[in-house]
Amino acid sequence: MILSLDLGSEIPIYQQIRDQVVVAVATGELAEGSALPSTRQLAGDLGINFHTVNKAYDLLRREGLLLLTRKSGAVVRRDPHSGPPEGGFAEEWAGRLRTLLAEAAAQGLDGPTVLAACTTTVNGFRAGQTATDDEGGVR
Amino acid sequence: MILSLDLGSEIPIYQQIRDQVVVAVATGELAEGSALPSTRQLAGDLGINFHTVNKAYDLLRREGLLLLTRKSGAVVRRDPHSGPPEGGFAEEWAGRLRTLLAEAAAQGLDGPTVLAACTTTVNGFRAGQTATDDEGGVR
DNA sequence: CAGCTGTTCTATAAGTAATAGAGCAGCTAG
DNA sequence: CTAGCTGCTCTATTACTTATAGAACAGCTG
């Protein structure tokens, strides 16, 4: 997968990394078991400090998406078929969804437009993973 | 409207205020022209510094939701019927939506569940502004 | 005038983000 | 066994953000 950073953004670098890994897992681009570059290597490729990459990986580990070991490096732990998320996630996530959708509504986007954007985005994820959906083989 | 703050949250206070005003505008609880408490009064009610409230109001003004004048105080400028948002908003918002929905998908929430949450939330907003009260409790 | 309003300035303390360097423990290929 | 990789941890510095606080100014209002 290819990571692109915007160093001039107000979004912290470690969060840009985290967000792009999350999207890659959602689309199926990163399946369960996929290996990510090491912290030092990715930092070198991106031209940033390895502590910053370490922070992003550590955040992904705490979210349950990455498994970090000394022998295998960084490996994707979950994918969209791994079953329900950990306790409390759905409620916290629904709260953030409410804020984000409220922002669009307050700015004048009407309901159908907002829901169409949601549907298109979610279907875009599934298109990326249903290619090998019949296999279902969890490695 | 009633503002509730969580001082122990990792979310900045000024952003909690902003988020709750945004939701109130989306639901119609705060219609165009509604007056908000002054910075000093709201700060006193919440037990926080008025500079923090000022920051939240200033953010809402930059987002086009509030109109701040010395004579009228803080007044809601937009509501869901004010027409399309300002240029560039939709694209930036769609990017954040993608990240948020990807997070749910990566954690194992399936597409229909995610879209159901979106629909329920958006309909909850519209129930607050249209004549038809649907009582769509999100629980 | 007295008392509100938003607004702007300085200032401080605490936390976060990103940088940097050094080192340790565990695994693996040569 | 050695060399080199891995995640991981520690200290440290710089810059920015968050939240606090006090003071003052300009405009409107009763």
Global pTM reads 0.88
Residue A3: closest CA among A15, A16, A12: A16
Residue A64: closest CA among B98, B108, B99: B108
What whole-number distance in Å separates Cα of residue A15 and Cα of residue A99?
A: 19
What confidence category does residue A128 fall into, taking pLDDT thresholds of 50, 70 and 90? Answer: low
Chain segment A62-119, per-residue pLDDT in tens? 999 999 998 888 999 987 787 778 778 999 999 999 999 999 999 999 999 999 999 9
What whole-number distance in Å separates Cα of residue B76 and Cα of residue A83?
A: 43
Q: Which residue of B has its CA nearest to A112?
A: B122
Which of A26, A110, A114 lies closest to B106 in CB terms?
A26
Residue B3: closest CA among B31, B33, B41: B41
Task: Determine contact: B79 vs chain A, CB below 8 A.
Answer: yes
Residue type, B117: A
What whole-number distance in Å separates Cα of residue A78 and Cα of residue B36?
A: 45
Q: Which residue is nearest to nucleotide C6 (CA to C1')?
A: B70
pLDDT, position A38: 94
pLDDT, position B133: 39
Chain segment B108-122, per-residue pLDDT in tens? 999 999 999 999 999
From chain B, the residues in CB contact with A108 under 8 A are 78, 80-85
Task: Determine contact: B31 vs chain A, CB below 8 A.
Answer: no
Q: Which residue of B has its CA nearest to A27?
A: B102
Q: Check whether B68 has a pLDDT greater than 70.
A: yes
Strand C lies under 7 A from the Cβ of residue B52 = no
Closest-lying nucleotide for A7 based on CA to C1': C18
